């Protein structure tokens, strides 16, 4: 990244506190905004979904390969400014026996040429975080559904921009939070919908993942940009993996909402320590990392529930998304997965044998998704334990049927907003931050998500 662009990014991030305060207070509900709401949005069915892809790096290439496995999907265009990545995408399409798509790679604005095409229905965006909002809003403005990687936005203004643009054009804008489609997460959603845990009171989620190796790969894939975010911001940089499943289980934006957040960060030590051991010619040796290694944020909901969200990608540790849900009659915790439920054995001990629980409480989306995978792609790699395929199958099926999606733009905004709000709280010594109501009141009457088997 050129020094001039680094300076621009630092100047932009310097204003994050002001933008956070402004974004939380703005966008009051009006009769006009009520008419535009896209809660439960159902668009005309798309028997054939014509896709464009922006970003064909490691994650984007995986999205592309899985889409090529789906029935009723066509890939019409690819965009990436990295020529090698673009070629990998073209080879993947060729290997599937599909016609070669159009390609766009001429500079950072090349995606706009892709969006000018009239033969695309939906765009999948898997680029660095700072491009998510401009690319998604441009896609919506061009009349295409936007599917964007996590987090969907890194500022409150960006969250509002996604909401308002999706409302203006009445198109789907879904954040691709794949962790909502894991087997355990879906089973817990099913248990919650059946009331098995009683009244839900508390949840914990996080993203604890040793990503220090990205400092070594500074010229490859996410290593080109993701570690640099730690030099610009101090807070929870990646909240949605742990938070999304808890939000769905608790019915956030569907009977409850995030109301206030407070956040603290530890000292920033891990990345600097790792960087000091890198070769002298690695530019990350000279970076100044400001993001605290462990960020802990506490969210209170309108119904008085509490949610703890953690983030640490800077230290040596085992991977975990924590995944705790606790109610009056029982709870679940992840890593390792375990359950304790009133009326089912000794509740003073965790039940670590989940096989009987899967047999009884597997969510229909999981079982139906696995059946689709066995039929369409029995030999394909099961990305992230199979959750990626279930997510792709669900969103494609919903588009084919003209049904509302499992995640909407309000979810994308609320879950992503925890990032900038945590930054604002950390900068103010843990001062509470109001969480905007992106639904503008619709959360009180929106039905909870999820089938019950």
In this structure, what token pair is assigned to residue 195? Answer: 């009331």
Of 260, 261, 245, nearest to 200 (Cα)?
245
- The predicted structure's pLDDT at residue 257: 98
Express each pLDDT in 175-216 by its tens digit.
999 999 999 999 999 999 999 999 999 999 999 999 999 999
Distance CA 248, CA 451 (A): 12
What is the CB neighbour count within 10 angstroms for residue 122? 23
Q: Cα dihedral sign for 147, 149, 154, 156?
A: positive
| Dihedral-angle region of residue 205 (phi above 0 means left; psi in -120 to 50 means alpha; beta otherwise) | beta
Residue 220 corresponds to which tokens in the numbers above? 């490859």
pLDDT in the model for residue 31 = 59
Which residue, among 95, 59, 105, 58, has the nearest Cα to 75 in the 3D structure? 95
pTM of the predicted model, to two decimals?
Answer: 0.94
386-412: average pLDDT: 97
CA distance 21 to 322: 30
* 413 pLDDT tier (thresholds 50, 70, 90): very high
Task: Of 88, 55, 105, 62, give the one whose Cα is nearest residue 224.
Answer: 55
Domain extents in the chain: 35-176, 180-366+405-444
41-59, pLDDT tens digit by residue? Answer: 999 999 999 999 999 999 9
Closest CA relative to residue 186, chosen from 387, 408, 333: 387
Percent of the chain at pLDDT > 90 equals: 89
| pLDDT value for 435 | 98
pLDDT at 274: 98
| Average model confidence (pLDDT) across the chain | 93
Confidence (pLDDT) at 1: 38
CATH entry, 180-366+405-444, from 3.40.1280.10, 1.20.1730.10, 3.30.360.10, 3.30.70.100: 3.30.360.10
- Per-residue confidence (pLDDT) for residue 29, from 0 to 100: 62
Residue 75 · residue 114 · CB < 8 Å: no
| 180-366+405-444 matches 35-176 in CATH topology | no
Distance CA 289, CA 297 (A): 20
E strands within 151-257? Answer: 173-175, 200-208
Cβ within 8 Å of residue 404, ≥6 positions away = 40, 41, 42, 398
Query: Residue 33 pLDDT more than 80?
Result: no
Average pLDDT rounded to a whole number, residues 96-125: 98
What is the pLDDT, as a whole number, of residue 310? 99
Instruction: Read off the pLDDT of each residue in 335-344 and give the average, rounded to a whole number.
Output: 97
Question: Which has more pLDDT, 381 or 109?
Answer: 109
CATH of domain 35-176: 3.40.50.720
Q: What is the per-residue pLDDT for 11?
A: 45
In angstroms, how far is CA 197 from the centroid of its own chain? 26
pLDDT (tens digit per residue) in 82-92: 999 999 999 99
Indicate the pLDDT class of residue 112, thresholds 50, 70 and 90. very high
Contacts of 103 (CB under 8 A, 6+ apart): 77, 78, 79, 86, 90
The whole-number pLDDT of residue 381 equals 78
pLDDT value at 269 more than 80: yes
pLDDT, position 4:
45
Per-residue pLDDT band for 395 (boundaries 50, 70, 90) equals: very high
């Amino acid at each position: 990244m050129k020094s001039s662009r680094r300076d621009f990014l630092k100047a932009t991030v310097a204003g994050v506190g002001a933008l956070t305060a402004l974004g939380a207070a703005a966008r009051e509900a009006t009769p006009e905004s009520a008419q535009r709401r896209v809660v439960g949005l159902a668009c005309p069915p798309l028997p054939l979904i014509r896709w464009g892809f922006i970003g064909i790096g490691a994650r984007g290439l995986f999205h592309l390969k899985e889409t090529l496995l789906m029935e009723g999907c066509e890939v019409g265009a690819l965009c990436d400014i990295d020529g090698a990545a673009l070629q990998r995408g073209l080879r993947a399409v060729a290997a599937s026996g599909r016609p070669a798509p159009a390609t766009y790679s001429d500079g950072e604005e090349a995606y706009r040429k892709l969006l000018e095409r009239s033969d695309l229905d939906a765009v999948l965006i898997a680029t660095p975080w700072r491009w998510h909002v401009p690319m998604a809003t441009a896609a919506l403005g061009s009349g295409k559904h936007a599917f964007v990687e996590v987090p969907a936005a890194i500022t409150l203004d960006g969250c509002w921009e996604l909401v308002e643009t999706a409302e203006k054009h009445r198109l789907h804008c879904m954040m691709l939070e794949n962790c909502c489609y894991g087997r355990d997460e879906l089973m817990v959603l099913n248990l919650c919908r059946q009331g098995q845990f009683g009244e839900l009171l508390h949840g914990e989620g996080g993203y604890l993942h040793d990503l220090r190796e990205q400092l070594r790969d500074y010229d490859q894939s996410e290593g080109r940009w993701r570690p640099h975010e730690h030099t610009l911001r101090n807070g929870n940089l990646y909240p949605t993996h742990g938070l999304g499943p808890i939000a769905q289980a608790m019915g956030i934006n569907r009977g409850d909402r995030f109301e206030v957040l407070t956040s603290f960060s530890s000292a920033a030590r891990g990345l600097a320590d790792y960087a000091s051991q890198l070769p002298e010619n690695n530019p990350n040796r000279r970076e100044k990392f400001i993001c605290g290694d462990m960020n802990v944020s506490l969210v209170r909901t309108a119904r008085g529930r509490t949610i703890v969200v953690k983030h640490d990608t800077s230290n040596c540790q085992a991977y975990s998304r924590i995944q705790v849900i606790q109610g009056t009659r029982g709870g679940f915790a992840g890593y390792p997965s375990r359950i304790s439920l009133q009326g089912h054995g000794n509740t003073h001990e965790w039940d670590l044998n989940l096989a009987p629980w899967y047999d009884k409480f597997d969510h229909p989306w999981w079982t139906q998704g696995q059946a689709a995978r066995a039929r369409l792609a029995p030999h394909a790699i099961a990305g992230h334990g199979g959750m990626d395929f279930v997510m792709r199958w669900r969103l494609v099926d919903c588009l084919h049927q003209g049904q509302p999606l499992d995640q909407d733009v309000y979810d994308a905004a609320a879950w992503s907003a925890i990032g900038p709000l945590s930054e604002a709280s950390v900068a103010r010594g843990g001062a509470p931050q109001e969480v905007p109501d992106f639904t503008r009141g619709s959360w009180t009457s929106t039905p909870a998500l999820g089938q019950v088997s």
